[in-house]
Structure 1
Amino acid sequence: MMKPSRSVSLSRIALVHDYFVQLGDAERVAEAMHDSFPSAPMYTTVALPQSLPPHLRAADIRTSPLQRLPAMERRFRHYFMLYPFAVEHFDLSEYDLIFSSSSGYAKGVHRRRNAIHVCYCHTPMRWVWRYDDYVAREGFGNVARAALPFLLWGLRKWDLRAARQPNYYIANSRLVADRIKKIYGREAFVIPPPIDVNRFQMSVEIDDYYLVLSRLMPYKRIDLAIKACKRLNRRLVIIGDGPDRARLQSLADDRIDFLGRQPDSIVNYYAARCRALLFPGEEDFGMAPLEANAAGRPVIAYRGGGAVETIEEGTTGVFFDRPDSLALATAIEKFESMRWDQQTLRRHAEKFDQTVFAFRVLQFLGSVAPSSCAGELLDGARLLSQSLSQRVWPRLALVG
């Protein structure tokens, strides 16, 4: 039987993403949007080749003049006051439907009066609405901390205006939907971001190590994982890179391995064979726990952020309640006394598969889109609904 396609071919839809300057969860959502609408152009302020997800490398990417600014790879944060002008100068007047992916600027694109704009919001702009968390997350120095509030005052005013541009919001979690309501006064429908379940294969061989899959940033709290594993004399494998690597390596001993960035094949190998994934930080959503579940492995996570929406305690993972290494070490010991079923973990991850994401997106867009494209969107959703297995289908109503 032919596998139903997740894509819909529409000539009057445009996709928009803030920028491609790093490869994270938001960029994977943009990739999934492109997979659903492969013929639609992707508008973005800046696209660095190394930060484009694989499926977008041959896509129709349309960048702003900011693409030509010097040293963009190193200085993209320095130009933050220019991004509003860039997105407002995109000419999207020919499109009936605009679908944006935004944690910052993309929601501010202008549309013609009778067009519909749906924004998939990863979170309201962190650096203006959660300033203290953001500067701690990015590790800014004292000078930047003192100067930024004055610069961000105007950006906050712009963000409130820009938030009125979308007709509808989709949030990646209930946590983010609540923020959208609080900050922008807008309701948001919840559709969790997608994971590629088929990318992961389960293994019958489980090795004696714990795993971290993460960019190495201070707010990710990888230091807790290192200290907890040292306390228990457990082996830890860390896959990922970032500005916090040197500090983290200074905390490690010879049972902590830093592998840096790795291709999907290596990530999949380690994910399938670890005892469990450690997820010690607080994220708006966080896709790594679900990727571990797709590989048949459970998660030990901090009870906060989006993790509480995706981890079923005692079935797909274990929580710890205090952000310290002793609490994490205690959770690891609790985990080691429990039994886990790989098929149950895999089935849980399937609720968040790319096909489920595409179905829910097409269904939502079809319900709000102009008549010129609503029919084809709903037809695409119906086709996908027929391909979803019975073990996934009854769970769809639990999200959103």
Structure 2
Amino acid sequence: MTTAGHGHDAEPQQRNRPLDGRSVALVHEWYGATGGSESVFRHIAELVPHGQRFVLWKDRDVTEPGLRESWLARTPLRAAKAAALPVMPLVWRTLTRERFDVVISSSHAFAHTVRLGPPERTRYLSYVHSPARYVWSPDFDGRGSGRLLAGPRRVLQSADVRLSRHVHSYAANSREVRDRIRQHWRRDAVVINPPVDVDFYTAAPAADRAQPRDYLLGVGRWIPYKKFDLIIAVADAAGLPLVIAGSGPEEAHLRRLAARAGVPVTFEVRPGPQRLRRLYWGARALVFPVHEDFGIVPVEAQACGTPVLGLRRGGLLDTVVDGETGLLTDDTDPRVLAPLVRRTAELSPERMTANAATFSRRAFEEKLTAWIHHECG
């Protein structure tokens, strides 16, 4: 399921492209086909098209040309992210013998520790999706809490701080991530929210826009921390049909829960962009009880005039105006959330689309360009 990058916004203007005349390295962690961090990296590359792009490795289904993989891609560790973590700092320090004037990293693990020249001559900027969850927040979504990392975690935390002192400036994808950077690394960061292809969603066909909005919607990967079990319970308590769009290893479990629900639950497996857009436009509300670093899905929903019902934490504090474009709560009791579903009908769809527009690709381009110019002259 693709949630961003449909190519409907204008390409970055040639006159706005920064760092012309300087050698630039663009650095990302492991590279998947459809992830949100990869979408940000692609947009950075569009803005700085002459930059050399480096990744730890790219997934087998990635066909994008021009990505230079590290030597880690030639080892079995490419298939085991958690096991590869302890060696990633070494990989970033032995990436290439080339030296660059400017290095921009897209980091959610150790990419921000990369060094491709002495900091007296090379300018280092890092766009941070989150300090490594496996290392700093192992219980956040359960993926980093295994015994394999229990021993080296403190060593990795110390290395993460020590090996990133040369970074001249950080940008965070949300206020939540900015606060984590302050907490873990004792560094400040400017907030630059990720780009969302809002124009694609607002430009829906008339037939999509005329739907009756008679169901609730859940969108995302079907894994435990996305809380689709809670979404089903909320729909059941609210007495409204539910559509679940996405895919993932929890599918069988969620289908069993759906079969016991008192309302119809429809599964949309890997919907394409047009189908997903239609689902947004037909929903009464997006139910999103997830603590995300940022979260592109709630912005897409608002671009379609669909209110968001979610938790008062994480990226939703950036993307949802509580009481205007959605309703946020600290409670995860379905009996508390269900009455809020009815209240979402009081909110203005026009206000939602206006709020979504502030997260457009153009807004990202302008903020990123301003940050680069400020830091690099």
TM-score range, shorter chain: 0.7 to 0.9
Which structure 1 residue ranges, 5 or more long, are not aligned? Answer: 375-400
Q: Kindly provide the amino acid, as one letter, of the partner of residue 162 in structure 2.
A: R
Task: Find the aligned partners of 2:270 and 2:77 in 1 and give their Cα distance.
Answer: 22
CA positional deviation for 1:366? 0.7
1:212 pairs, out of 218, 226, 235, with 218
The letter of the residue matching 2:233 is K
Are the structure 2 counterparts of residues 92 and 273 from structure 1 closer, same or farther at C-alpha, using a change threshold of 3 Å? farther
Q: Which residue of 2 aligns with 1:268?
A: 277
Between 6-15 and 158-167, the greater mean CA deviation after superposition: 6-15
Q: Of 90, 115, 124, which aligns to 2:95?
A: 90
Q: What is residue 181 of structure 1 aligned with on the other side?
A: 182
Q: Take 1:125 and 1:22, find their aligned partners in 2: how far apart are those partners?
A: 20
Matching of residues 41-80 of structure 1 within 5 Å: 41-50=52-61, 52=62, 57-70=63-76, 72-73=78-79, 75-80=80-85
Is residue 320 from structure 1 mapped to residue 329 from structure 2 by the alignment? yes
Is 1:20–1:27's contact at 8 Å kept on the other side of the alignment?
A: yes
Q: 1:340 aligns with which of 343, 348, 353?
A: 348
Q: Would the alpha carbon gap of residues 272 and 39 (structure 1) be closer, same or farther in structure 2, given more than 3 Å must change?
A: farther
Q: Please state how far the C-alpha of 1:222 moved relative to its aligned partner.
A: 1.6
What one-letter code is carried by the residue in structure 2 that aligns with 1:222? F
| Mapped partners of 1:225, 1:68: distance in 2 | 41
Q: Is the 8 A contact 2:238 2:339 kept in 1?
A: no
CA contact (8 A) 1:177 1:188 kept: yes
Instruction: Give yes or no for contact 1:320–1:331 (8 Å, CA) kept in 2.
Output: no
Shift, 1:339, TM fit: 4.3
Which structure has more relative contact order (CA 8 Å, sep 6+)? It is 2
Matched letter for residue 151 of structure 1: P
Question: Are the aligned partners of 2:213 and 2:281 in contact in 1 as well (CA < 8 Å)?
Answer: no
Give distance in 2, aligned partners of 1:145 and 1:94: 37
* Pairwise CA distance, 1:232: 2.5
Between stretches 276-285 and 10-19, larger displacement belongs to: 10-19
| Counterpart in the other structure of 2:158 | 157
Contact 2:82/2:134 (<8 A) preserved: no
2:124 aligns with: 117
Superposed CA offset, 1:46-68 (max 9, x none)? 11143x5xxxx444201112223
Structure 2's unaligned 5+ residue stretches are 1-9
CA change 1:223–1:22 in 2 (3 A) is farther
Determine the C-alpha separation between the residues in 1 that align with 2:235 and 2:352: 24
- Aligned Cα RMSD in Å? 2.2
* Deviations 1:1-22 (CA, angstroms, capped at 9, x unpaired): xx67345273511111111146
Task: Give TM-score scaled by structure 1 length.
Answer: 0.82
Distance 1:131 1:123 in 2: 13
Pair 1:164–1:244, CA change in 2 (3 A): farther
SS at match of 1:240: strand
Alpha-carbon distance, 1:324 to partner:
2.5
Match of 1:367 among 364, 371, 374: 374
Task: Answer yes or no: is the 8 Å Cα contact 1:286–1:306 preserved in 2.
Answer: yes
In the alignment, what sits opposite 1:236?
Answer: 242
Asked if structure 1 preserves the Cα contact closer than 8 Å seen for 2:12 and 2:46, the reply is no
**Cross-structure match for 1:28:** 39
Q: CA deviation at 1:270?
A: 1.1
| SS, match of residue 146 in structure 2 | helix
Q: Counterparts of 1:352 and 1:6 in 2: how far apart (Å)?
A: 18
Cα separation, partners in 2 of 1:67 and 1:316, compared to 1, 3 Å: same
2:127 and 2:75 mapped to 1: Cα distance? 27
Determine helix, strand or coil for the equivalent of 1:224. Answer: helix
Matching of residue 15 in structure 1 with residue 20 in structure 2: no
Deviation string for 1:206-226 (max 9, x for gaps)?
331111121122112121111
Native 8 Å contact 1:111 1:117 kept in 2: no
Counterpart in the other structure of 2:6: none
Aligned with 2:255 (options 228, 237, 249): 249
Which SS does the other structure have where 1:365 is aligned? helix
Higher normalized helix content (fraction of residues): 1
CA offsets per residue over residues 80-100 of structure 1, 9 Å max, x none? 223222222122643211111
Is the Cα contact below 8 Å between 2:77 and 2:83 reproduced in 1? no
> Does the 8 Å CA contact 2:326/2:347 hold for their aligned counterparts?
no
Q: Give 1:31 deviation, angstroms.
A: 1.7
SS of equivalent residue, structure 2 residue 127: strand
Q: Which residue of 2 aligns with 1:385?
A: none
Change (3 A) 1:270 1:264: same
Cα distance in 1 for partners of 2:97, 2:361 equals 27
Contact 1:17 1:106 in 2 (8 A): yes
Cα distance, 1:20–1:289 mapped onto 2, change above 3 Å: same
SS in 1 for 2:104: strand
The percent of aligned pairs where both chains have the same amino acid is 29
Equivalent residues, number = 354
Give the secondary structure class of the aligned counterpart of 1:237.
strand
In 1, distance between residues paired with 2:339 and 2:97? 54
Equivalent pair of 2:290/2:311 in contact (CA under 8 Å): yes
Is the CA contact (8 Å cut-off) linking 1:13 and 1:99 kept in structure 2?
A: yes
Give me the whole-angstrom Cα distance separating, in 1, the residues matched to 2:161 and 2:228.
34
